[in-house]
Structure 1
Amino acid sequence: MRCGVRLFHLLLILVFAACGTPVYAQVTADPALFEGFRAADLRLATAGYRLSTANAALCDRLEPGHGIQVHTLDQYAPALRPAVAAHFRFAGALAVEGVVSGSPAERAGVRPDDTIVRFGDIGVAPQADGPASTDRLVAFWSAVAALSPTAPIRVDLLRAGVPLTVTIQPIPACRTRYELAITAALEASANGDMVRISSGYYDSFHGDLPVAAIAHELAHNILRHRERLKAVGAEFGLLSGFGRNMGFFRQVELQADTLAVHLLARAGYPADLASRFRQHPVAKARSGMFQSPSHPHWRDRLRVALAEEARIAANGPGAPFVAERDLPLTGDWRPLVPKP
Structure 2
Amino acid sequence: MVSSFAKLALRLRHFVPFLGASAMFALVPTGAVAADDPAMFESVRQADLRVATIGWRLASANVALCDRLEAGTGLQLHTLDQFDGGSREDARVHFTFATPVAIEGVVAGSPAEIAGLKADDSLVRVGSVDIAALPGKPMTTDRLVAAQLAIAALPVDAPIAVEVLRGGAPVRVTLQPIPVCKSRFEMRIARDWGASADGTMVQIGSRFVEEYRDEWLAAVMAHEFSHNILRHREKLEARGVNFGMLSGFGKNVKYFRQTELQADLLGVYLMANANYPVRAAIDFWKVFGPSKAGGILRSRSHPSWRDRVSTLEAEIAKIETISARPIVPAVLTDRAVPLDGNWERLIVRQR
TM-score normalised by length of structure 1: 0.91
1:278 matched residue in structure 2: 285
1:40 matched residue in structure 2: 47
CA distance in 2, matches of 1:153, 1:110: 12
CA contact (8 A) 1:27 1:33 kept: yes
The correspondence for 1:268, drawn from 275, 300, 321, is 275
1:228 matched residue in structure 2: 235
CA contact (8 A) 2:255 2:340 kept: yes
What do the CA deviations read for 1:74-104 (whole angstroms, capped 9, x no partner)?
2222332111111111001101001111111
The correspondence for 2:343, drawn from 308, 333, 340, is 333
CA distance in 2, matches of 1:75, 1:283: 36
Post-superposition offset of 1:126: 7.0
1:19 matched residue in structure 2: none
CA contact (8 A) 1:223 1:321 kept: no
The correspondence for 1:7, drawn from 11, 17, 27, is 27
The alignment yields a C-alpha RMSD, in angstroms, of 1.7
Q: Which amino acid aligns with 1:94?
A: V
CA contact (8 A) 2:35 2:86 kept: no
Matched, 1:72 2:82: no
CA distance in 2, matches of 1:298, 1:337: 11
C-alpha distance 79-150 of structure 1, shift in aligned 2 (>3 A): same
Q: Which amino acid aligns with 2:147?
A: F
Alignment of 1:19-98 (within 5 A): 26-28=34-36, 30-98=37-105
CA distance in 1, matches of 2:94, 2:215: 29
Post-superposition offset of 1:332: 1.1
Q: How many residues align?
A: 325
| SS of alignment partner, residue 202 of structure 2 | strand
Q: Which amino acid aligns with 2:342?
A: D
CA contact (8 A) 1:151 1:170 kept: yes
Alignment of 1:205-216 (within 5 A): 205-216=212-223
1:21 matched residue in structure 2: none
CA contact (8 A) 1:224 1:325 kept: yes
Q: Which amino acid aligns with 1:294?
A: S
CA distance in 2, matches of 1:129, 1:174: 30
| SS of alignment partner, residue 283 of structure 1 | helix
What do the CA deviations read for 1:232-271 (whole angstroms, capped 9, x no partner)?
1111111111111011111101100100000000000113
CA contact (8 A) 1:6 1:75 kept: no
Alignment of 1:131-142 (within 5 A): 131=139, 133-142=140-149
Structure 1 residue runs of 4 or more that deviate by more than 6 Å after TM superposition = 126-129
| SS of alignment partner, residue 226 of structure 1 | helix
* Farther-moved stretch of structure 1 (289-298 vs 168-177): 289-298
Post-superposition offset of 1:326: 2.4
Post-superposition offset of 1:122: 1.2
CA distance in 1, matches of 2:46, 2:211: 17
CA distance in 2, matches of 1:83, 1:119: 26
Unaligned runs of 5+ in 2: 1-19
Q: Which amino acid aligns with 2:348?
A: P
TM-score normalised by length of structure 2: 0.88
Q: Which amino acid aligns with 1:318?
A: V
CA distance in 2, matches of 1:123, 1:4: 21
